[in-house]
């Protein structure tokens, strides 16, 4: 059993949200309230993102939530947890589509790319997770 499965197993069913945005928010709130560590939060989040049929949409939701959460916090401890979470994401092994079917990446302008089962997940020429695709241009656009 993985750390992610163990963590989710111990959550009461009524505590587990169903939408992707709600699940991501739930994971970040548990991180910020120190109910989980940055490493467990990153691993759980990565598993959730990689399970989505449209990887770029899921990653976009995570990035948007991450930055809006960071912008709304003033506690140095909470900001440190968010930074540690991002570091832990980047330390994860490069993602491979584990299936059971192909995933898609929306490159914009109607251009869609298929990520077949067994293929490394690469977005904008960057590996998910070690190169944190889409994060840098979101940083430059926000700040």
The predicted model scores a pTM of 0.83
What's the structural domain count of the chain? 1
Please state whether beta strands 111-115 and 103-108 pair in parallel, antiparallel, or not at all (unpaired).
Answer: antiparallel
- C-alpha dihedral sign at 125, 127, 130, 133: positive
- What confidence tens digit (pLDDT) does each residue in 16-46 have? 567 999 999 999 999 999 999 999 999 999 9
> Within a domain: residue 39?
yes
How far apart CA 19 and CA 63 sit, in angstroms, is: 16
> Within a domain: residue 98?
no
> Within a domain: residue 111?
no
How far apart CA 87 and CA 10 sit, in angstroms, is: 25
> Within a domain: residue 115?
no
Mean pLDDT for the stretch of residues 69-86: 95
With a CB cutoff of 8 Å and minimum separation 6, the contacts of 136 are: none
């Amino acid at each position: 059993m993985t750390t992610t499965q163990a963590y989710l197993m111990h959550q009461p069913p009524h505590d587990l949200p169903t939408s992707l945005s709600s699940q991501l928010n739930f994971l970040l709130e548990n991180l910020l309230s120190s109910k989980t560590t940055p490493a467990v939060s990153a691993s759980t989040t990565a598993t959730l993102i990689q399970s989505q049929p449209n990887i770029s949409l899921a990653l976009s939701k995570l990035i948007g939530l991450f930055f809006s959460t960071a912008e709304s916090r003033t506690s140095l401890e909470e900001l440190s947890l968010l930074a540690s979470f991002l570091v832990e994401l980047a330390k994860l092994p490069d993602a491979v589509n584990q299936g059971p079917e192909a995933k898609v990446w929306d490159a914009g302008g109607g251009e869609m790319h298929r990520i077949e089962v067994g293929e490394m997940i690469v977005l904008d020429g960057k590996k998910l997770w070690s190169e944190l695709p889409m994060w840098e241009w979101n940083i430059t656009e926000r700040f």
